[in-house]
Copies of this chain bind each other. A is one copy, B any other.
Amino acid sequence: MPAPVVAEPLVNSLRINGQRLWDSLMRLAAIGATPKGGVCRLALTELDRQGRDFFVAQARAAGCTVRIDAVGNLFARRAGLDDTLPAIVTGSHIDTQPTGGKFDGNYGVLAGLEVVRTLNDAQIRTQAPIEVAVWTNEEGSRFVPVMMGSGAFIGEFATDFILAQQDRDGITVGEALRSIGYAGTDAVSPKSFGAYFEAHIEQGPVLEANDTTIGVVTGALGQRWFDVVITGAEAHAGPTPMQLRKDALLASSALVQAVNEIALDHAPNARGTVGMLDVYPNSRNVIPGTVKMSVDFRADDDATLSAMDAALRATATRVAAKYRVEVDIRQVVYFAPQAFAEPLVQAVRASARELGLTEMNVVSGAGHDAVYMARVAPTAMIFVPCKDGISHNEIEDARPDHLEAGCNVLLHAMLKQAGC
Please report A residues at the B interface, Cβ cutoff 8 Å. Answer: 202-206, 209, 221, 223, 225, 234-244, 247, 249-250, 252-254, 256-257, 260, 263-264, 267-279, 282-288, 294, 296, 298, 364-367, 389-393
Interchain nearest-CB distance for A101 vs B (Å)? 12
Please tell me if the beta carbons of B249 and A392 are within 8 angstroms of each other in the complex. no
Please tell me if the beta carbons of A286 and B275 are within 8 angstroms of each other in the complex. yes
Please tell me if the beta carbons of B279 and A276 are within 8 angstroms of each other in the complex. yes
Contact of A294 among B202, B284, B294 (CB under 8 A): B284
Please tell me if the beta carbons of B253 and A296 are within 8 angstroms of each other in the complex. no
Q: For the complex formed by this chain, how many copies does it contain in all? A: 2
23 A–B contacts, CB within 8 A, in A order: A204-B238, A206-B239, A221-B238, A225-B284, A235-B390, A236-B365, A236-B391, A238-B271, A238-B367, A240-B389, A242-B267, A243-B267, A247-B260, A249-B274, A249-B277, A250-B274, A253-B257, A254-B257, A275-B286, A277-B279, A277-B288, A284-B294, A285-B366
Closest to A201 in B: B239
Please tell me if the beta carbons of B238 and A365 are within 8 angstroms of each other in the complex. yes
With A235-B389, A277-B282 given, is the CB distance from A240 to B204 under 8 Å?
yes
Please tell me if the beta carbons of B389 and A271 are within 8 angstroms of each other in the complex. no
Interchain nearest-CB distance for A144 vs B (Å)? 12
Contacts of A204 in B (CB 8 A): 235-236, 238-241, 244
Contact of A202 among B239, B247, B367, B392 (CB under 8 A): B239
Contact of A282 among B278, B288, B366 (CB under 8 A): B278
Closest to A283 in B: B275
Please tell me if the beta carbons of B392 and A236 are within 8 angstroms of each other in the complex. yes
Please tell me if the beta carbons of B296 and A271 are within 8 angstroms of each other in the complex. no
Please tell me if the beta carbons of A238 and B285 are within 8 angstroms of each other in the complex. no
- Smallest CB-CB A-B distances: 9 pairs: A204-B239, A238-B365, A237-B273, A253-B256, A238-B366, A253-B253, A239-B365, A284-B294, A203-B239
Contacts of A390 in B (CB 8 A): 234-235
Contact of A263 among B236, B242, B298, B393 (CB under 8 A): B242
Interchain nearest-CB distance for A337 vs B (Å)? 12
Interchain nearest-CB distance for A85 vs B (Å)? 34
